[in-house]
Amino acid sequence: MDQKIWCSIFVVILVMVTFSGVNGDPLVPCYFIFGDSLVDNGNNNNIVSLAKSNYLPYGIDFPRGPTGRFSNGKTTIDVISELLGFDDYIPPYSQVSGQQVLRGVNYASAAAGIRDETGRQLGGRITFGRQVINYQNTVSQVVQILGSENQAASYLSKCIYSIGLGSNDYLNNYFMPTVYRSSRQYTPQQYAQVLLQQYAQKIRILYNYGARKFVFNGIGQIGCSPNELAQRSPDGKTCDDRINSANRIFNAGLKSLVDQLNNQFSDARFIYINVYDMFQDLINNPSAFGFTNTNTGCCGVGRNNGQITCLPFQAPCLNRNEYIFWDAFHPGDAANVIIGRRSFRSQKPSDAYPFDIERLAQI
């Protein structure tokens, strides 16, 4: 065959491969996210709430600027979305439309908790229960797009479902005794049990609506956040172990729930991400990860820059990648990249149980 013809055939094949998406498909068809301000990417923007971040300097290092992410740049979910192979970030429920839902939806809402009353002092928020209802509405759309419940169920069974709630149930509920009664009603052990019972109920609803691949994200070290250090630490550096101890109780129960649900549902997989110990690594050995500041927000007001979050157009620190915390409560882009990568692909055996997100995607 003529050499020119061979060259033409080669070019055609190359173009077809390049544009067919053969090598560019994500590891899973869709990614659904339930959570709070750690992963909210815009759902609170049009809600009457004090829990908002759709203004500078939030998003100062994000290509699209302020979007409603509580970070100077990416969230952990953004990092994991990239590693899963998605060509764009998963859109918030408040902005998604049409066939976009087939790639997944982010339902997370700042100030949201497992309990309905959590975060109410901050105004509007989308509770875990409401996020689940929003997902049920999405499933109806998926059924309509794909043509049948069976096709929708088959499609959704391949997707990953990330759940990261509980932080506000401590930060904006249990350890706020002047506003909430929960700390007078329950011991830390009892409270964790109540939270996990409500959590498990919502998980079963998600299962009944097609979810099969679950990621349970543990709570980080709330007692080490600039806000808690500003309020409770004598030296502004020593973490509050009363809060951290309560967080560890919840996390241990969440890990046990993974075992329970894996035994109960043979056609589903549940994993636990040990965010608490990942943060422990950052705080205990910051220089190994490029950090010089572990206890102060890069942007904020008051002691530890932790008494108030970033004010509109406030000038943040310049060396942002050297700060674990971006503001009074939230890690910055640099820390989120580390946590996101370790969640996706474990760097230590303790990072994920029984295996990591990458393995979950491949099952």
Kindly list the catalytic residues.
Answer: 37, 327, 330
Residue 161's Cβ-count burial label (10 Å; 0-12, 13-18, 19+) is buried
Tell me if 333 sits within 8 A of 61, measured CB to CB.
yes
- The full length of the chain comes to 363
**Which structure tokens are listed for 15?**
């173009």
**In angstroms, rounded to a whole number, what is the distance separating the alpha carbons of residues 130 and 317?**
36
* Residue 24: CB atoms within 10 Å: 11
Provide the H-helix boundaries in the chain.
3-20, 76-84, 128-146, 149-156, 167-169, 182-185, 188-208, 226-232, 241-264, 275-284, 333-344, 357-362
Long-range contacts, 150-157 (Cβ 8 Å, 24+): 152/210, 153/210, 155/29, 155/30, 155/102, 155/210, 156/30, 156/209, 156/210, 156/211, 156/212, 157/210, 157/211, 157/212, 157/213, 157/267
Which residue type is seen at 189?
A: Q
Residue 136 burial (C-beta neighbours within 10 Å; 0-12, 13-18, 19+): middle
Q: Looking at this protein, which amino acid is placed at residue 70?
A: F
Distance of alpha carbon 194 from alpha carbon 198, whole angstroms: 6
Assess contact for 145 and 179: CB atoms under 8 A.
no
Dist CA 263 CA 58 (whole Å): 42
